[in-house]
Amino acid sequence: MKLEIPENWSKATIPDLIGYEGVFADGDWIESKDQDPNGEIRLIQLADIGDGTFKDKSNRFLTKNRADELNCTYLRQNDILIARLPDPLGRACLFPFNEQRFVTAVDVAIVRMNLGFVSQKWLMYIINSQPFREEILARSSGSTRVRISRKNLGEIFFPLPPLPEQRRIVAKLDAAMERLRAAEAALEEVPALLEDFRRSVLHWAVTGRLTSSDFSTWEKRQMDEVCTKIQDGSHFSPQVKFTEPGKGRYMYLTSKNIRNNYLDLSKVEYVDEAFHQSIYPRCNPEFGDVLLTKDGANTGNVTLNTLQEPFSLLSSVCLLKADAKKLDSNFLKYYTQSPDGQENLLGEMTGSAITRIVLKKIKTLEISLPPLDEQKSIVEAIEKHFVKMGNIEKFLDDSKQELHTLRQTLLTRAFRGELLTAAELAEVQAAADYEPAGVLLERIKEEKARMESWRKRGKGNSRKSAQTE
């Protein structure tokens, strides 16, 4: 990376900023055998390290005695914690707690500068900036598990501003980040609102309110009266399964492949023709049929079959073939997804370890139906609402990406010295403690050397006193 250094700034690395008794080290190698759920020392892990925020997620502990035996580095408030593993690689945050009862895992680097010559928060922002992150990726290693070594972290150069300028940059970034977080928090509330609206649309649809239909005229029918077939898949696991398609092989779909409104074919297994032919005459899904998950964690998920090719089903999936003269398949799908349909279905579940909807109960479930042409009108009205909701969801995703881009733009401008206005820059340059960053780096170096010399003299004097005695 070619660095353009603004006036009075200097090129620096993290080790250049570490003062006497400062820390630039990896966390500690703490294995499972070292941990104790009743311990008083908490182990901070990668899950706790957010992109500029401390997530406070972990729940691992060890005893104080064990931490001392391992010679662990105890964390201090405002230490910078850098994740040496994804995702994203190199993300950094400030440690928020002031009690010395925390240590961290080996895949987290600790930065503590200690002398007050550099703002810890400014450095955290710089580490999270796009230019610094690009350098991290360029110096990373590993194919299956990418990581950055602390040695390589310490070799990355970045522009260092004078301390008063660091403070002003931090103040400006803090204000901007607070506004960004408020915007993100507002966006995070939208999916729940959309889900509530989706459920309301489906409830209104299957009770006649969406199209101002007279619900009292709807006819109650059992599922087996309006479907030509209600059947689950194979009750026996195939002896041979394949992970790749091939001649004479058929897709074998289970509950994990059935999602609401789509088939998840990201992980599909295949069976041979003999197994397929043992199932298909009895359970023959065709294009447009309804597929309902009746067993397991995904129970209640429903979609239409969008595949033209034949395939096999496991017994965790129920096939429903709507009678085209009585029932629209899309109406059946949306009824099943509605709060009303879900309550009827899931209220018929059995089992404790593995929940399931019994096939016999599905056949006898009651559904209220308007005339067929009205069913189609209701489906059309539902899908118009869902298209609008899809547009809102796309806008939501785009807005989140724009906020992320804006955050990185601000951090990149801070990295390059482009964040402050001319008036703000003139103000910080008039500060009593303003000095070029090169002078600041020299003072760090001199202070470090002076304290090291003092420490050595102290040890020498101690030895002489011991000899005299």
| Confidence at 355, pLDDT banded by 50, 70, 90 | confident
Instruction: Choose one of 338, 354, 369: the last residue of a domain.
Output: 369
Q: Based on the domain organization, do 154 and 14 belong to the same domain?
A: yes
pLDDT value of residue 143: 82
Q: Based on the domain organization, do 152 and 211 belong to the same domain?
A: no
Handedness of CA 201, 203, 206, 212 (dihedral sign): negative
Query: 458 in a domain, yes or no?
Result: no
Q: Based on the domain organization, do 18 and 154 belong to the same domain?
A: yes
87 preceded by a cis bond (ω within 30 of 0): yes
Query: What is the rounded average pLDDT of the residues 349-370?
Result: 82
Buried b (16+ CB within 10 A) or exposed e, 26-44: bbbebeeebeeeebebbbb
State the average pLDDT for the chain: 94
pLDDT value of residue 118: 94
Query: 285 in a domain, yes or no?
Result: yes
* Whether residue 466 has pLDDT greater than 70: no
| CATH number where 342 lies | 3.90.220.20
Q: Based on the domain organization, do 14 and 156 belong to the same domain?
A: yes
Q: Based on the domain organization, do 288 and 410 belong to the same domain?
A: no
Query: 28 in a domain, yes or no?
Result: yes
Q: Based on the domain organization, do 19 and 45 belong to the same domain?
A: yes
Query: 467 in a domain, yes or no?
Result: no
* pLDDT, greater one: 453 or 428: 428
Query: 106 in a domain, yes or no?
Result: yes
Q: Based on the domain organization, do 56 and 132 belong to the same domain?
A: yes
| Confidence at 465, pLDDT banded by 50, 70, 90 | very low
CA angle 411, 416, 417 (to 5 degrees): 95
Q: For tokens 């017994």, name the residue.
A: 315
Q: Are 175 and 182 in contact (CB under 8 A)?
A: no
Query: 454 in a domain, yes or no?
Result: no
Query: What is the rounded average pLDDT of the residues 130-140?
Result: 97
Contacts of residue 26, Cβ cutoff 8 Å, sequence gap at least 6:
84, 106, 107, 108, 109, 110, 150
Q: Rounded to two decimals, what is the model's pTM?
A: 0.83
Q: Based on the domain organization, do 232 and 338 belong to the same domain?
A: yes
| Confidence at 414, pLDDT banded by 50, 70, 90 | very high
* Whether residue 464 has pLDDT greater than 60: no
pLDDT digits (tens, 9 = 90+) for 440-459: 999 999 988 888 888 788 75
Q: Are 254 and 293 in contact (CB under 8 A)?
A: no
| Confidence at 469, pLDDT banded by 50, 70, 90 | very low
* Whether residue 463 has pLDDT greater than 60: no
Q: Based on the domain organization, do 228 and 312 belong to the same domain?
A: yes
Q: Based on the domain organization, do 263 and 405 belong to the same domain?
A: no
Query: 2 in a domain, yes or no?
Result: no
Residue range(s) defining the domain that contains residue 285 = 219-369
Query: What is the rounded average pLDDT of the residues 414-436?
Result: 96
Q: Based on the domain organization, do 413 and 331 belong to the same domain?
A: no
* Whether residue 237 has pLDDT greater than 50: yes
Per-residue 3-state assignment (H helix, E strand, C coil) for the chain: CCCCCCCCCEEECCHHHCCCCCEEEECECCCHHHCCCCCCEEEECHHHECCCCECCCCCEEECHHHHHHCCCCCCCCCCEEEECCCCCCCCEEECCCCCCCEEEECCEEEEECCCCCCCHHHHHHHHCCHHHHHHHHHCCECCCCCECCHHHHCCCCEEECCHHHHHHHHHHHHHHHHHHHHHHHHHHCHHHHHHHHHHHHHHHHHCCCCCCCCHHHCEEEEHHHHEEEEEECECCCCCCCECCCCCCEEEEECHHHEECCEECCCCCEEEEHHHHHHHCCCCCCCCCCEEEECECCCCCCEEECCCCCCCEEECCEEEEEECCCCCCHHHHHHHHHCHHHHHHHHCCEECCCCCEECHHHHHHCEEEECCHHHHHHHHHHHHHHHHHHHHHHHHHHHHHHHHHHHHHHHHHHHHHCCCCCHHHHHHHHCCCCCCCHHHHHHHHHHHHHHHHHHHHHHHHHHHHHHHHC
Query: 265 in a domain, yes or no?
Result: yes
Q: Based on the domain organization, do 178 and 203 belong to the same domain?
A: yes
| Confidence at 353, pLDDT banded by 50, 70, 90 | low
**By percentage, how much of the chain surpasses pLDDT 70?**
96
Q: Half-sphere exposure of 85 toward its Cβ, with a 13 Å CA cutoff?
A: 13
161 preceded by a cis bond (ω within 30 of 0): no
Number of domains, the chain: 3
How far apart are the C-alpha atoms of 130 and 411, rounded to whole Å? 7
How far apart are the C-alpha atoms of 251 and 273, rounded to whole Å? 10
Query: What is the rounded average pLDDT of the residues 377-395?
Result: 97
Q: Are 317 and 254 in contact (CB under 8 A)?
A: yes
